[in-house]
Structure 1
Amino acid sequence: MSKVKKSRVKLLHQYYKYTGFYSFIWQGVKSAILPTVIVVAVLFYVNYKVINLNEGLLYITQNFSDLFIFGVFLASESVLGLIPPDIFIAWTKNTESPLLYLSILAFLSYLGGVIAYFMGMAIVAIPSVNKHLYGKMSKHIINMQKWGGFLIAVGALLPLPFAIACLAAGMINYSRKHFFLFGLLRFFRFAIYGFVIYSALS
């Protein structure tokens, strides 16, 4: 039985190697490392050299309702991740219950991915829109067809376009069960980034 499992893993490894999955991840990670390092470095610098970020974030907390901020975040996570989640994670640091708010953000990010997934399914039903977006997202759709859930997992865990992966999954009618399962990895990303950003602001 162990030999069968080993051979299957080996076959999967060869498949992902030949189809360029590992090089895709590496290129994505390389392109994401610099922006991530810059964001964290800027947080450190501004916090210690320019202005206390905790005070600035406290101002946002006091002048904007939680519901408004959560709404903006959900909209961003549903439409191609227009605003970096790191900004919102930093905001939770100065709320009354940081871990609770961070958990809510993680859930909303997951929900945003689900919304993007169903948007993808809806787009397919509109030929003109589907044709337009299919041309613009052909690379992502082809990758989704090749790698499926692993591409969703990568988008959920790494600083890569999670919403785009979810949209592509919906457009090819990827298994809902597997999509919901792989998408849960999004919670781990927020836990890790929360730890890093909270440490930068402490």
Structure 2
Amino acid sequence: MTCNLVVLASGRGSNLKAILNAIEEGKINANVKLVLSNKKNAGALEIAKNKGIKAKFFDPSFFETRRGYDIYISEIIKKENPDLVVLAGYMRILSDEFIDTFEGKLVNIHPSLIPAFQGIKAQKQALEYGAKITGATVHFVTKELDNGPIIIQGVVPILPDDTEESLSKRILEIEHRIYPQAIKWFCDKRLKIEGRKVIVEGAKYGSLPINPSLEDF
């Protein structure tokens, strides 16, 4: 059965592109029904349009509150009957109402090894802290920012001469592999959530730099 996805994005859409490539290659049995953005000129909207996918921009400034905006877009999203709502560089903090609406089928990718360096500019935070490793995390979204149950993590070493730009680029390379993998596992109904713990049934655990190990990417 095909997995219906709705993607929320604010930026250039590199993770969206990686997901769409995986679908086109037959690695994920899924269909992106809608790409929605809070930024009019988001590259993700252009990527969606070029693929013939519905792409919609909704201006948050038209709404008096974040809650009002989220309630509105949640109604738009629900019409697509999504199995999974994917945050792919969506740069807005979600309201509790939105999270409640899609609880258990709302995922995000964050450019650090959660719980380290949560919030914005995680790469800069890691550099300024003097960390020796960082990475990327795919997790379910909860009301606590960047702190939901973790599906998969990938480790990226920090080099002495790294800049925020160079580190971000290497983290993105990992993101483009682990996010499609996590979505595939979800669509294949292999994710089992037990409190804070997410188990991928049948996956291989214990290897680095990515745990659990990639199977398809």
Q: Normalising by the residue count of structure 1, what TM-score does the alignment of the two structures yield? A: 0.25
The structure in which a higher percent of residues are helix is 1
Q: Normalising by the residue count of structure 2, what TM-score does the alignment of the two structures yield? A: 0.23
The structure in which a higher percent of residues are strand is 2
Which structure ranks higher in relative contact order (CA pairs < 8 Å, sequence separation ≥ 6)?
A: 1
Larger Rg: 1
